Amino acid sequence: MDVDKMQTKLASWSQDPDYRFDDIYNLVYDRDWLRRAYSKVEDNSGSRTAGVDGQTMEDFEEDLEGNLQKLRKSLKSQSFDPKPVRRTYIPKGDDEERPLGIPTIKDRIVQEALRMVLEPIYESDFSDKSFGFRPNRCTMDAIKSVYSNMAPELVYRPWLIDADIKGFFDNVDHRTLEQIIQDRITDQKMRDLIWDFLRAGIMEDGIFRHSELGTPQGGIVSPVLANVYLNELDQWIKKWTDHSKNERVSRWEEGKPSWSFVRYADDFLILTDGSKETAEKMLNRVGGFVKEELNLELSDKKTELVHATDGIDFLGYHLEARERTGGVMRTVPEEAIKDVRGKVTEATNGRTDVSIRSKYKALNSVTTGWANYYKYATNASRVFNDLDSYVWQKLTHWLAEKFKCSRGEIVNKVGNPDTLKLNGIGRTQLEDLAESGRYGEVHQGSNPYLEGEGLKREELFESDPWLAKAEDYEEWKDSRWKTLEGDDWTCQKCGREIKGSSAHVHHKKPRKAYSDTTRADREDNLISLCERCHSELESNR
């Protein structure tokens, strides 16, 4: 099956709001569909983490074709049974933690196959005002949509309802979601599979808990289901927000307020040019809809009514209208600066027995993703310059400790360590990334599966300040580079020049033969090969 063409067909059929999808379950267990789903999961940076069954991606790939075939058969016979997600917690800030559900490898592949069916269908139904976890849309689209409506020189809507749904992902009502899905998808087998995932349960600290509510965070299909659920809110609020320019002018002349709405996942903002009292009435309306129609509640702690000149924090940016200049300041919050500095400190403390290359890798992991996220802030240049100086200071202290000398000696010997490169790796200069305010047009429009330009997905930045602790991996990168350099980037079997993805490094004696795998990565056990020769050697082992 041509997966791309089939997804385009799904998107095309879904253009008719009355179309009902009745025979689509077969797609989930199609051989090519499952293979594409596996590839997507395998490419994900978190794909190696095991679920409750303890199976890693490496385990699954030991008999890849056999395991995919078993998965296909179980789906076709409807005997596939999702396992509970393994629940863990990750820091969220303010001493809070965010729950994360980790499905098994098999469940991830099936969830991806499911997402590949659902997304082309529902992208036709979703609102232009929804930006979270959708193809060809990103956080900056949502942020720009907000500040464009906050700007006094443009469409000034000074009162903002900053709303947050209380524990959304843990409280999605399964029966309500099932009814919403049934309006579009009448294929009972498809709905049963979705239901099985919703009811698979949670395993936490060895204790099983039924999942009678919610879509586990971390599940591949969860963002699509979340948007399907909250699309009910998006469509309901259109009666206030979907007015043409002429209609808005008429409303203004008649003294009636205009409204704007922006949603990113379970965070949403409603902006108005009406009075504070008008905004308060709307907040009550929205709270009533969320409770009565979605069986959810707005968070009293996180939902508030704010004036644009007092500023608001949205998706990590601080947005504040300036009536005197007519613009909107989009700044990096102090808390975000404090947080990244703390991670830089953590990454440059402790062990000095790691390589400088590893340390650069760790620092780049911390700072580059952060800077790319905040590069559109109006104060990006100043903030990035300050952070560059802070990193330089911390790095020179670490180098001085590593080589048991003074910081001054390090500076005298290597000059600015930021310009130093080892095996092709140097530290990214953050100031060069600043694009203060130059974000382009907000991405809106038709179903992206109809556009034929390929899908882009936002990768939200996550930094690991102790990437340098993964020394086994980093030392392997060093050894790999040195081996390729030593072999003059030439396959040592066929003599072909190798580069990029065709450059492979082979372990003469396999890693599993060593109790200490770092010994396996020594250069005397490594040889440079092209992809074809490497594949032949591995298949003959």
Q: Where are the domains of the chain?
A: 1-124+179-211, 126-173+213-331, 334-467, 470-539
Identify the residue whose tokens are 């240049």.
381
The residues pairing with 22 across neighbouring beta strands, listed in sequence order, are none
SS3 505: strand
Which CATH superfamily does the domain covering 126-173+213-331 fall into? Reverse transcriptase/Diguanylate cyclase domain (3.30.70.270)
Q: For the CA atoms of the chain, what is the radius of gyration? A: 26
541 residues of the chain, pLDDT tens digit each: 899 999 999 999 999 999 999 999 999 999 999 999 999 998 875 666 788 888 888 889 989 999 999 999 999 999 999 999 888 777 665 566 777 788 999 999 999 999 999 999 999 999 999 999 999 999 999 999 999 888 877 677 899 999 999 989 889 999 999 999 999 999 999 999 999 999 998 888 778 888 888 886 668 999 999 999 999 999 999 999 987 777 777 887 788 899 999 999 999 999 999 999 999 999 999 999 999 999 999 999 899 999 999 999 999 999 999 888 888 999 999 999 999 999 999 888 877 877 787 788 888 888 988 999 999 999 999 999 999 999 988 988 998 998 899 988 887 877 665 666 655 566 677 877 887 656 777 877 789 999 766 788 877 655 443 333 333 444 566 677 788 888 888 999 988 888 765 688 888 888 667 665 556 777 888 999 987 788 677 656 6
Helix (H) or strand (E) segment spanning residue 399: helix 380-402
Strand order through the sheet with 328-331: 312-314, 317-321, 328-331
Decide if 47 contacts 57 (C-beta within 8 A). Answer: yes
Please tell me the class of the 470-539 domain.
Answer: alpha beta
Among 460, 473, 533, residue whose Cα is nearest residue 502: 533
Q: How far apart are CA 383 and CA 334, in angstroms?
A: 10
Looking at residue 351, its pLDDT comes to 74
Q: How far apart are CA 343 and CA 363, in angstroms?
A: 9
Structure tokens at 299: 């968070």
DSSP string, 42-108: HHSTTTT---TT---HHHHHTTHHHHHHHHHHHHHTT---PPPEEEEEEEEETTEEEEEEE--HHHH
SS3 357: helix
Among 492, 497, 501, residue whose Cα is nearest residue 533: 492
Looking at residue 285, its pLDDT comes to 97
Those residues whose C-beta lies under 8 Å from the C-beta of residue 29, and which sit 6 or more positions away, are 71, 72, 75, 76, 113
Looking at residue 288, its pLDDT comes to 98
Q: How far apart are CA 8 and CA 449, in angstroms?
A: 5
Looking at residue 473, its pLDDT comes to 45
DSSP string, 479-496: HHHHHHHHTTTB-TTT--
